[in-house]
Amino acid sequence: MSQGKVRRLVGKYEVGKTIGEGTFARVKFAKNVETGQHVALKILDKEKVLKCMMAEQIKREIATMKLIKHPNVVDLHEVIGSKKKIFIVLEFVTGGELFDKIVNNGRMREDEARRYFQQLINAVDYCHSRGVYHRDLKPENLLLDSFGNLKVSDFGLSALSRQVRDDGLLHTSCGTPNYAAPEVFNAGGYDGAAADLWSCGVILFVLLAGYLPFDDSNLMILYKKISSAEFSFPPWLSYAAMRLIRRILDPNPVTRITIPEILDDDWFRIDYKPPVFDEKEDTNLDDVEAVFKDSEGHHVTEKKEEKPAPMNAFDLISMSRGLNLGNFFDVGQEFKRETRFTSKRPAKEIMHKIEEAAKPLGFDVHKKNYKLRLENVKAGRKGNLKVATEVFQVAPSLHLVEVRKAKGDTLEFNKFYKNLSTSLNDVVWKTEEDRQELK
């Protein structure tokens, strides 16, 4: 962790850089100062949660994750609170999203896709056995650990079995349209297990094909395609894989294949290894209620940062699996959600240059110390694109600048930073090797 003027502690956790943001929460990298264990700290503003009447949903998400202990599900270590904030301490997963792997590498071989699908089915089967339905399964919510194992995350839209009405069905339409089962769009209610399984089928198709089975910019046309299971297979899929996908993407939830039937499927069973793990003991949810009632909480200690945070070699390595300090224009950066570059310019000049470059691109700029928050005034495909930048001091005359998508569409972010890179050409530090390549 960077040791600058500011050292922010939440109980026994030292808080580091932001690694993700949502509407109601920000996720930061953190370290348990007692054990050295790295964790992800999901931070929620208590007043905002209560004002927007999100308390019950947040309680449900915490309660859901505390019920689950499975090698293919992100683990919740504990939940703590302060007077103004709620902190959910989660397992820190280092391998990124399955979504990024698909975008960067395209479709997978059947053996690789099958392995991820087997792990996904294992996780979903376990969640359903605990009365938990995810309801927003998609590659963006599937993380990979350092060994390449799949981890299901983001239970913000999950439902517990106690939410099922007297008719035995769930009645809240939610999830991402391209991955949602046809019955989710209907007013008659749906079975959470069958709906999750449909999403698994869409994910398997994406892994094998490299594109979505159902996609259209017009939502009504998209719903029509989903309702009639109107899609076609690419020619490279095996008959066994196509047969399984067709049985999962059955628009009738009553005749749709079930998880026990998937576990007996010949294609699925190739090289299948059932998970081995210890069951979680009875779960105590008292701390979930406590954080909302302002019972004894941990208070955050933080001070105003007056200069760029220093960065050591450990920080540089931990920020990226393949960090190339000199190359802001790497072709391999395409479809990334963040990028970094180094500069020998003063920190204030770098900030000014980024601000100058962002405004003509239609972005509002908000500054705080050596951080910039950029927001596109025009809404894109997934709302207003928001970009976070921060300047770190690596050495007295060398700074590292991080440019990261905070919210919005990934492709729009990539278009933005390609335009930004052109404007910052004279700011980025280039090695002698870089200069030779540009000649």
Select which of 136, 154, 196, 315 is catalytic.
Answer: 136
Q: Are 48 and 31 in contact (CB under 8 A)?
A: no
Alpha helices for 147-285 (secondary structure H): 192-209, 219-227, 239-248, 259-263, 266-269
Chain mean position to CA 141 = 5
Query: Residue 342 gets which letter from DSSP?
Result: E
- Containing 434, the helix (H) or strand (E) segment is helix 432-438
Read off the tokens for 164: 């099922």
422 Cβ contact partners less than 8 Å away, ≥ 6 residues apart = none
Nearest by Cα to 424 from 348, 358, 325: 358
154 carries an active-site annotation: no
Nearest by Cα to 15 from 3, 23, 25: 3
- Packed helices 410-423 and 347-358: angle between N→C axes, nearest 10 degrees: 120
CA angle, 224 then 226 then 230, to 5°? 85
Is 42 known as a binding-site position? yes
Question: Phi and psi for 159 in degrees, rounded to 5?
Answer: -130, 145
**How far is 153 from 138, CA to CA, in rounded Å?**
10
Read off the tokens for 399: 């700074």
Q: Are 71 and 82 in contact (CB under 8 A)?
A: no
Read off the tokens for 4: 């600058």
Question: Phi and psi for 274 in degrees, rounded to 5?
Answer: -60, 145
Read off the tokens for 64: 């859901």
Read off the tokens for 14: 């030292």
- Residues at the binding site for ATP are 42
As annotated, the active-site residues are 136
